[in-house]
Amino acid sequence: MKRFFACLFTSRASKSHCHLNNSHPRRSREAMETTLENNPGSDTKIMEGNASSSSESKSTNIILNHDFSGGLESWHPNCCHGYVVSANSGPQGRMLMESNVNYAVVTGRNECWQGLEQDITGKISGGSTYKVSACVGVSGLPQANSDVLATLKLQYRDSAASYLFIGRTSVTEGSWARLEGTFSLPTIPERIIFYLEGPSPGVDLLIQSVEITCSSPNEYNSASAKCDSTGDDNIIVNPTFDDGLNNWSGRGCKIALHTSMADGKILPQIGKNFASATERTQSWNGIQQEITGKVQRKLAYEVTALVRIYGNNVTSADVRATLWVQTPDLREQYIGIANVQATDKNWVQMQGKFLLNGSPSKVVVYLEGPPPGIDILVNTLVLKHAAKAPPSTPPDFKNATFGVNVIENSNLDDGSKGWFPLGNCTLSVGTGSPHIIPPMARDSLGLHEPLSGRYILVTNRTQTWMGPAQIITEKIKLFLTYQVSAWVRVGSGSTGTQNVNVALGVDSQWVNGGQVEVSDDRWYEIGGSFRIEKQPSKVMVYIQGPASGVDLMVAGLQIFPVDRQTRFKYLRKQADKIRKRDVILKFSGGGSGGKLGTLVKVTQIQNDFPVGSCMSRTNIDNEDFVDFFAKHFNWAVFGNELKWYWTEAQQGKFNYKDADDMLALCQKYKIETRGHCIFWEVDGVVQQWVKSLSKDDLMKAVQNRLTGLLTRYKGKFKHYDVNNEMLHGSFYQDRLGKDIRASMFKNAHQLDPSAILFVNDYHVEDGCDTRSNPEKYIQHVIDLQKQGAPVGGIGIQGHIDSPVGPIVCSALDKLGILGLPIWFTELDVSSTNEFVRADDLEVMMREAFAHPSVDGIMLWGFWELFMSRNDAHLVNAEGDINEAGKRYLALRQEWLSHSHGHVDEEGEFSFRGFQGTYNVEVVTPLKKISKTIVVDKGDSPLEVSIDLQGSCFA
């Protein structure tokens, strides 16, 4: 489906009352806060703002008139108005004032980006880290709270201004809050403007004081306010080519030094020189530097580079920073560090991180990526030990109105009030829609008023994106998860299946709130979710999707914040029902009456419910990783090392050593393993040599792959994902016919009858992908079974954003009708805030653990820098367990049962516990007995006999 967003912004063009040099073009909040990826010259270490005070820095404050004792001297209102209030003038609104304290009031704000700014050009030195601390407030706030942000505007030579997010804090009316953050610029632009912004239009911004100091100064020049950082030296020698090309070399190509190119149109952004990798004949050709012995294992490093491209009439291309590592046993590893879409117009910044698990014999960092014939230009490359990210602060949800619909006039009691047509379509109100709220919303909301039966009819639709819309900017709270629910239907003019989507326009982003396929004239439930983690200037919800000319009907649209804690209470009870079993310990021996009062202590030492994780070959060189894995997981899956493109990258050249090493480790720690995957149906991940085969040769290669893999590892992998993501790809089916998929299952079963064979796909559980909804997945399995495929399990990958329990549970309920075990095979959740990430993870793990059809959970990694998604890790790169990791460990501890007490008159001790292994300790007047028992799955109570006279259970 084409993703469309109608622009709703007001341009940031200069206005007549603005300071001449302070205006700037429109930019989205998303663009501002992703400066790490897009902004030339910024090396940001972001610290989210909070209301807690920080220790005072002894460094000189580079902000002039920081406490507004000189009025607004040195400050400029950005396209708005400002004045200073003194304590003697009385408070502004309900704001409490200290004696002899001034503060600035920024008023007349028509845009969220308008605020107060100061030019700090010449006061910042490259590579140093600066700490920002400001005391801020708001006045005239219509809602509970609002965010205030600190930002840098950076103006580089011959390029548009860019914006660097520093930090934010949430402010309530009538109180001051502390905004804190840090920033570092490896390269210095021509102008640097610091400013405060953020509250909604119409809300006054109050500022009591602002400080910017060097956070860890070694030397300090009070005149220029510059400082040199310590302990953060650049590992790269000659990083700006001041010493020519010394220490640099070409990787399969030539390199050259330049002061300019293209008749002076290309100049270095910093320094006097830049280098080019030229005469490139392969995409991996580039410029390189050896750093052997300069990087330590188990430490995180950050790479920052300024790059661009030149030549062959190509205007943009992907440039990558890669690490080539040779291990002591001469194995080679290629570690992707960073990538950026470089252009021939401007220098762009590339930034990324890496960590070495083992002790390499040789390490080289290099730039690569563009097609042959394109020069890679590099102005600077910096490689330093990465600073640790500041910890997250828990979002404030105290005043959240859980379950309250943010949509105005959802029941259409007031006609179409609150709604407007997006585009030139026509809105009217009809009757005859369902009176009950959709089931997934009902599961979240509980008892609820019935719907009115009225619906919005959208006619005269000439584009797929046309439909009913509302602006909900002020009703959305950051970091809250919102559930989306509605009834939808299409009218006359429809031919074939139509896709209906609840979409959100969040500044310049399209956000998916849920999708459903509609194929007839029935009402369909649409369900989804979303979360916004960066302050938007405008949020619009609209319903779109059917082809032009097809009428659209929408009834009972609900968007409401989800009360996860209430759901968790329900899931705890459900888990107790399906994962626990009654156990009766029956004691004998010990003489008559000797058993009564005997002390019994029952401790569960292992829950048998499978919870595992993905790992990579390089991970097992890190003893800290292995220790965490062995302690906290009982299953494993290999991320890449069993895939065909890894084991046979070139035809006839096999690499099973990586998988062998990983399997040996799992066997050592008695960790069960899943085989992922025998084939992968998506065209983009199939090796080129496989693609070039004829039909007959491809069929032979498929059989050789099956025979080679499953014979080698017969009985060693409990599961196999036979043909990964068949709902999203069709490479083998397109070339070998529809029967090939079932044939793969049948041949795999013949080669290893002990392995359970799985289908495996993504977006099955979240309502956001019509290609892989539960109904299609069910039909997919049935079709395979009709062809004789021995499908033994259903894999739901679980790469999910903003999960909502009832939506996930609904998918599990539907898939459960097949009677096959369901596993979450690749679970990961992503949020910039560790506490929100922890909540997401708890949602998914509790839903899985409390559902009778789910037999296991596999995380798709847990260690930072070794996961496929950013902000999804549980353990930070250098081994610190973050809030998400702590939540995971807490859940694992919660799922262990313990009990103690005394033997009763019947000579029995009863308890109810999770399935798994227990240690039973019995203390009699004469001795202490310790025994191990296993509580397996079963509906009836498990009776275990214990002979107090003997040494083992009867």
Q: Is 930 exposed, middle or buried (0-12, 13-18, 19+ CB in 10 A)?
A: exposed
Sign of torsion over alpha carbons 139, 140, 146, 147: negative
What b-and-e string marks burial along 796-833, b requiring 16 or more CB atoms within 10 Å of the CB? Answer: bbbbbbbbbbbbbbbbbbbbbebebbbbbbbbbbbbbb
Residue with the bigger pLDDT between 126 and 634: it is 634
Cα 841 to Cα 393, 826, 830, 835, 859, distances in angstroms: 17, 12, 9, 10, 10
What's the whole-number mean pLDDT along residues 868-894? 97
Is residue 503's pLDDT more than 60?
Answer: yes
Residue with the bigger pLDDT between 70 and 506: it is 506
Percent of the chain with pLDDT over 70: 89
Cβ-contact 502, 514 below 8 angstroms: yes
Task: For 779-831, write each residue's pLDDT tens digit.
Answer: 999 999 999 999 999 999 999 999 999 999 999 999 999 999 999 999 999 99
Is residue 5's pLDDT more than 60?
Answer: no
Q: Give me 318's structure tokens.
A: 């992907």
Is residue 492's pLDDT more than 60?
Answer: yes
Active-site residue, selected from the candidate residues 33, 173, 197, 826: 826
d(CA 927, CA 948): 9
DSSP-derived 3-state class of residue 101:
coil
Task: For 24-53, write each residue's pLDDT tens digit.
Answer: 333 333 333 333 333 333 332 223 333 333
> Is-catalytic flag, 826?
yes
Question: pLDDT-based confidence at 2, cuts 50/70/90?
Answer: very low
What's the whole-number mean pLDDT along residues 681-704? 98
Among residues 764, 772, 773, 754, the alpha carbon closest in space to that of 713 is found at: 754
Cα 707 to Cα 80, 317, 651, 703, 771, distances in angstroms: 72, 41, 15, 6, 31
- In sequence order, the 6+-apart residues with CB closer than 8 A to the CB of 25 are 11, 12, 13, 160, 161
The predicted pLDDT at position 96 comes to: 52
The predicted pLDDT at position 722 comes to: 98
Is residue 529's pLDDT more than 70?
Answer: yes
What's the whole-number mean pLDDT along residues 836-858? 98
CA 198 to chain centre: 24
Sign of torsion over alpha carbons 755, 760, 766, 767: negative
Residue with the bigger pLDDT between 308 and 154: it is 308
The predicted pLDDT at position 190 comes to: 82
Is residue 83's pLDDT more than 80?
Answer: yes
Cβ-contact 680, 729 below 8 angstroms: yes
The predicted pLDDT at position 459 comes to: 95
Task: For 543-568, write each residue's pLDDT tens digit.
Answer: 999 999 999 999 999 999 999 999 99
Question: pLDDT-based confidence at 494, cuts 50/70/90?
Answer: confident
The predicted pLDDT at position 924 comes to: 83
What's the whole-number mean pLDDT along residues 500-512? 95
Q: Give me 868's structure tokens.
A: 């496929």
Q: Give me 250's structure tokens.
A: 């070409």
CA dihedral 740, 746, 748, 753 (to 10 degrees): 170
Residue with the bigger pLDDT between 592 and 14: it is 592
What's the whole-number mean pLDDT along residues 486-495? 87
d(CA 624, CA 332): 22
CA 848 to chain centre: 20
d(CA 270, CA 186): 10
What's the whole-number mean pLDDT along residues 892-912? 95
d(CA 779, CA 771): 12
Is residue 839's pLDDT more than 90?
Answer: yes
The predicted pLDDT at position 168 comes to: 85
Among residues 869, 717, 899, 730, the alpha carbon closest in space to that of 800 is found at: 869
DSSP-derived 3-state class of residue 843:
helix
d(CA 49, CA 55): 14
Cβ-contact 769, 775 below 8 angstroms: no
Residue with the bigger pLDDT between 398 and 251: it is 251
What's the whole-number mean pLDDT along residues 118-122? 90
The CA radius of gyration of the chain, in Å to the nearest whole number, is 31
d(CA 884, CA 872): 9
Task: For 531-545, write each residue's pLDDT tens digit.
Answer: 999 999 999 999 999
Is residue 22's pLDDT more than 70?
Answer: no
Question: pLDDT-based confidence at 88, cuts 50/70/90?
Answer: low
d(CA 824, CA 128): 45
Question: pLDDT-based confidence at 220, cuts 50/70/90?
Answer: very low
DSSP code for 935: E
What's the whole-number mean pLDDT along residues 912-917? 97
Strand pairing of 854-859 and 539-544?
unpaired
The predicted pLDDT at position 185 comes to: 84
CA dihedral 606, 610, 616, 621 (to 10 degrees): 10
- In sequence order, the 6+-apart residues with CB closer than 8 A to the CB of 737 are none
Sign of torsion over alpha carbons 87, 90, 95, 99: positive
The predicted pLDDT at position 47 comes to: 31
Q: Phi and psi dihedrals of 886, rounded to 5?
A: -65, -35
> Kind and range of the H or E element at 659?
helix 657-668
